[in-house]
Amino acid sequence: MDELITINRQLDSAYVEWPRMQLGGLKRLQEAVLPLWDQTELFRIYEPGVVPGFFQTHGYASALLDRIADFFTIPGGAEEAAAARLERQRLLHSGVHRFAVVIEEAVLCARIADADIMAGQLGYLLDVMALPSVSLGIIPFSVERSMWPVEGFWILDEERVVIETVSAKITVEQTGELNLYRRTFAELASMAAHGPTARELITTAIAAL
């Protein structure tokens, strides 16, 4: 019976629906992840549609969180939540944490906010990718793909994967699934442009605004 209770608790924490997590508001939701982020040394992040939270400007984060609040009917707090989200950027400069990030080129083109905010966000990506703690790869539209676009996921060290769907936050800790996400990230990273080629993709996207 004790084993069943433990398994049920693990399952309960592995799949958490957003309405349950959002009860305390968007700001609290942003702050709740900080202890886990603080203890993670290596982040491997794949995002197909939006700029990862660590790399967001205040304007971009505010626009995105405001839309999330509206969609899920969460009362107010987008500005405060955006400030809380930006607080985590201190980890980029800590000297302890490393960030291997792969995004699709579509992220650069998705108009999450107006042209001025998007220009600022894309310009900030150029700054962030120069940091010694960051490796930023961009999968171009034109690449011959060995791996299809998948759901966004974050691999935290070698211990867990966090996946955010429309309905829930999923935490994966089983060895077989962890290995599958590691393989997936390696495939996606192998298709990504880095360095000057990635910078050219960003500057082209800025020019298109």
Q: Under a CB-based contact definition with an 8 Å cutoff, are residues 103 and 136 in contact?
A: yes
Q: Which residue range forms the structural domain that includes residue 136?
A: 39-54+88-208
Confidence class for position 17, pLDDT limits 50, 70, 90: low
Say how many C-beta atoms besides its own lie within 10 A of residue 181's C-beta: 19
Residue 7 confidence (pLDDT) above 60: no
State how beta strands 160-164 and 153-156 pair. Answer: antiparallel
Q: Is residue 195 situated within a structural domain? A: yes
Of 18-22, 26-30, 51-55, 104-108, the range with the lowest mean pLDDT is 18-22
Considering the domain boundaries, does residue 200 fall inside one? yes
107: CATH: 3.30.870.10
Residue 2 above 50 pLDDT? Answer: no
Residue 100 located in a structural domain: yes
For residue 127, tell me if it sits in a domain: yes
Parallel/antiparallel/unpaired status of strands 153-156 and 42-47: antiparallel
The domain total for the chain is: 1
**pLDDT at 67 > cutoff 50:** yes
Q: Does a structural domain hold residue 76?
A: no
**Dihedral, CA atoms, 140, 155, 99, 53, nearest 10 degrees?**
80
Model pTM? 0.91
Domain annotation covers residue 143: yes
Q: How far apart are CA 88 and CA 108, in angstroms?
A: 22
What residue type is assigned to position 17 of the chain? E
Evaluate whether residue 141 is within a structural domain: yes
The conformation of residue 193, written as its DSSP 8-state character, comes to: B
pLDDT over 80 (residue 138):
yes
| Token pair of 141 as six digits | 């539209």
92 belongs to a structural domain: yes
pLDDT tens for residues 108-122?
999 999 999 999 999
Rounded Cα gap, residues 99 and 129, in angstroms:
10
The residue type found at 48 is P
